[in-house]
Amino acid sequence: MTKRPHSKGEVHKEQKEYDEQVIEISRVVKVVKGGRRLRFRATVVIGNRKGKVGMGIGKSNEVTGAIQKAISQAKKNTLQVLMDQGTIPHDVEVKQKSSHIKFMRAKPGTGVIAGNTIRKVLELAGLKDIYTKSFGTTNKINNTKATFSALKLLRTTPGMDARARKVADTRAKLAQEQASKQLAKQEKAVQPTTAKPVVATKPAAKPVAPKEQTKPDNK
């Protein structure tokens, strides 16, 4: 079976499940008995910008190979981030090794206020408004790991539960109204009509006036 060739204006693109951001590419030198062995280490973060984000580290003799290994590892280690209307549900602070970061809620329209490394992770996660502060080291890998540790600590708040119940009640009410309307339509269609059949009647004949008899003239 021959495939139809693509026209000039037709472009075939596969939609990716995750967006990718390379955090760091570094050279790693390993000293062995035969000499020094050079490899590359890539740190990659992936996310669908809808609450799902992952991190991976890959090593290879080539940069592209290291990136591909990091992406495959990140897909296996994804995290579902809990969000509240584009920001985090509550403030959180994490200390991990030499990294010390703090995340704070922000109003709509604030944007992602963060450094380069932390901002990439938060944007791929789908957060739109958040304040961040970094007090410790500037090491990219440590800050990335600390960011994931902070996102794991997020929990639901009473305000989120109340809004979720309100949305659920509204949806249930709308569904009930639609069901009642549909049931009323069905009952109306099934219910027999009680109106009497209309019988067509012929209009009454008009009385015919008698003809005047004319007498012959006698001359």
In a domain, 48, yes or no: yes
CATH code, 100? 3.30.230.10
- The reported pTM is 0.70
Over residues 51-94, the pLDDT tens digits come to 999 999 999 999 999 999 999 999 999 999 999 889 999 999 99
In a domain, 99, yes or no: yes
**φ, ψ (nearest 5 deg) of residue 46:** -120, 155
In a domain, 44, yes or no: yes
Q: What is the mean pLDDT of the chain?
A: 83
Q: What own/partner pairs with CB < 8 Å and gap ≥ 24 does 14-20 have?
A: 17/48, 18/46, 18/47, 18/48, 18/52, 18/54, 18/74, 18/75, 18/124, 19/46, 19/47, 19/48, 19/49, 19/124, 20/44, 20/45, 20/46, 20/71
Which of 32-36, 105-109, 181-185, 188-192 holds the top average pLDDT? Answer: 105-109
Over residues 2-40, the pLDDT tens digits come to 455 554 444 444 567 889 999 999 998 888 888 888 999
Could you tell me if 27 and 40 are in contact, meaning their C-beta atoms sit under 8 angstroms apart?
yes
In a domain, 143, yes or no: yes
In a domain, 165, yes or no: no
Lowest mean pLDDT of 128-137, 161-170, 205-214, name the range. 205-214
Lowest mean pLDDT of 59-63, 73-77, 99-103, 173-177, name the range. 173-177
Residue 210 has pLDDT above 70, yes or no: no
What is the average pLDDT across 146-150? Answer: 94
Residue 140 has pLDDT above 80, yes or no: yes
In a domain, 167, yes or no: no
Of the candidates 116, 114, 118, 144, the residue with the CA atom closest to the CA atom of residue 42:
144
Q: What's the pLDDT at 34? A: 82
**Which band of pLDDT confidence, cut at 50, 70 and 90, is reported for residue 206?**
low
Residue 186 has pLDDT above 90, yes or no: no
Q: How many domains does the chain have?
A: 1
Q: What's the pLDDT at 10? A: 45
Matching residue, tokens 């639901």: 156
In a domain, 153, yes or no: yes
**52 vs 171: which has the higher pLDDT:** 52
In a domain, 181, yes or no: no
Q: What's the pLDDT at 201? A: 63
Structural domain that includes position 83: 19-157
